[in-house]
A and B are shown apart, each in its own frame.
Chain A
Amino acid sequence: MKRKAFLIDTTRCTACRSCQVACKQWNKLTAEDTVNRGSYENPPDLTPQLYNQIHFIEQDRGKDMRWLFINRRCQHCADAGCVKVCPSAGALYHTPDGLVGFNQDKCIECHYCVNGCPFDVPRYDSKQKITKCHACIDRVQNGLLPACVKACPTQTLQFGDRETLIAGAKAAGKKLYGENDLGGLGVLYVLDDEPDTYRLPKNPAIPASIFFWKDVVKPLGILGFWGAVGVAALHYVTVGPKRIEDEPEDKSPKGGE
């Protein structure tokens, strides 16, 4: 089966945020109490009730300025840290389309995926179960577009065969982010600036500890309980308390984002 992907062309985004709301409607996610922190951006980050979010960036360029917008979400990596690290088979998985889905019934609430993700995406809901963008797998497998892509008025969000999207973007002379990183991201970006402007890691990588877990420790899962105890301890030693790769230094609200 051909690999599916999102193409997010940030140069077309008007930040209308239909993506945020259409996702909530389809996935039956509730609204959260938010505050205006001196910014249009809300909620300020992904949450268990928010699978994708528009990040607003104001840029001062002397006489002129720019206002950049980017849709943040699960990157549906081929070499997905979350899937790799997940100790519960089927809780996080790749669909035959190459998208990363989750199954809350199988989630064991270990939160390893949080640390395994270089993009700071997975969240845990009130039941302590994994949540994130799952590319509306139910829709996609029934021949529909993901709710956010369907709703996007400016074709900022596109979805389809990954190869076709890449070929199309290249033919239009657009440079892509994520074509080859982590085995190729399932979310390709057309950016108007350097990745770090958008809080995207320049060279996304899975934390080294994950390889260790995936390739060395996880096969030992058959050892059962004691193995798990060991892993928990190992995790604490190698990764430490939850820490996000490429965390921006200052997360306090910035002027008029």
Chain B
Amino acid sequence: MQLNRRSFLKYSGGAVASSVIGLGLGTNEAAAELAGPLAIQYARETTTICPYCAVGCGLIVHSRGNEVLNIEGDPDHPINKGTLCSKGSSIIQLRDNAQRITEPMYRAKGAKEWQKVSWDWALDQIADRVKAARDSSFIATNAKGQVVNRTDALASVGSAALDNEECYLLQKMLRSWGLVYIEHQARI
């Protein structure tokens, strides 16, 4: 610690203050005080499962309104019993995060940047493109004359990050469009 004039004065002032309080309380130990109620005390608790590896650890999300206050391991979960790894301990930052994309974006042909767009516009544009690609590429029968009813011009990859119900819906939707190029993380 190098003392310059300014900090020297600061320390001196501090010592005065401390000497006064010190007299009042006698010892530092007596300064111990009970912490107030926890920020999470009256929060809503929601159980969830960690989005990272497939151990499937339980988590409790503490929230108030639409704000997440805290996320920690679910002590009732028989696998992780309240514990988590560094990734599991960090997932509040998936929401408390300025990098999260929260508006649909579009990149036009040759464009150098993204632009924000509305959901309605984006979804209509995609639906148009799915139909156009499907219609122009649809294979009703193959070279051997067998009925195949598919398109080889559309493909999809993902996703092990989806819930089961979403995985089921996704494959159901894609297959109804005639896709056979459907793959995801399990292959790699």
Contact = CB atoms under 8 A, between A and B. Distances in A.
Are A and B direct contacts in the complex by CB distance below 8 Å? yes
A151 B14 contact: no
A16 B35 contact: no
A137 to B, nearest CB: 6
B17 interface: yes
A22 B84 contact: yes
Interface in B63-89: 70-73, 75, 80, 82-86, 88-89
A44 interface: no
Report the interface size class on chain A.
35 or more
Contacts of A150: 72-73, 75, 82-83
Given A25-B70, A110-B14, A147-B72, A18 B38 contact: no
Interface in B20-77: 21-25, 27-32, 34-38, 41, 70-73, 75
A110 B11 contact: yes
B185 interface: no
Interface stretch (B2-10, B106-114, B123-131, B146-154): B2-10
Contacts of A151: 72-73, 82-84, 88-89
Contacts of B18: 86-89, 91, 106, 108, 221
Contact of B70 (A17, A26, A231, A236): A26
A141 B35 CA distance: 6
B90 interface: yes
Contact of A222 (B2, B23, B29, B36): B23
A231 B15 CA distance: 9
A134 B7 CA distance: 26
Query: Which of A18, A111, A235 has the most C-beta atoms of chain B within 10 angstroms of its own C-beta?
Result: A18
B32 A94 contact: yes
B92 interface: yes
Nearest to B41: A142
Contacts of A152: 83
Query: Which of A16, A114, A139, A218 has the most C-beta atoms of chain B within 10 angstroms of its own C-beta?
Result: A16
A139 B38 contact: yes
B32 A228 contact: no
A45 interface: no
B60 to A, nearest CB: 11
Contacts of B75: 150
B164 interface: no
Given A90-B25, A153-B83, A236-B3, A95 B12 contact: no
Given A221-B18, A228-B16, A232-B11, A16 B1 contact: no
B118 interface: no
B176 interface: no
A48 interface: no
Contacts of B23: 221-222
B112 to A, nearest CB: 28
Contacts of A253: none
Interface of B: 1-3, 7-8, 10-19, 21-25, 27-32, 34-38, 41, 70-73, 75, 80, 82-86, 88-90, 92
19 contacts: A16-B86, A21-B86, A21-B90, A22-B72, A86-B18, A87-B22, A89-B22, A90-B21, A91-B28, A94-B29, A108-B13, A142-B35, A221-B15, A221-B23, A224-B19, A228-B11, A228-B13, A229-B12, A236-B3
**What 7 A-B pairs are tightest by C-beta distance, nearest first?**
A108-B14, A228-B15, A90-B31, A221-B19, A88-B18, A138-B35, A21-B89
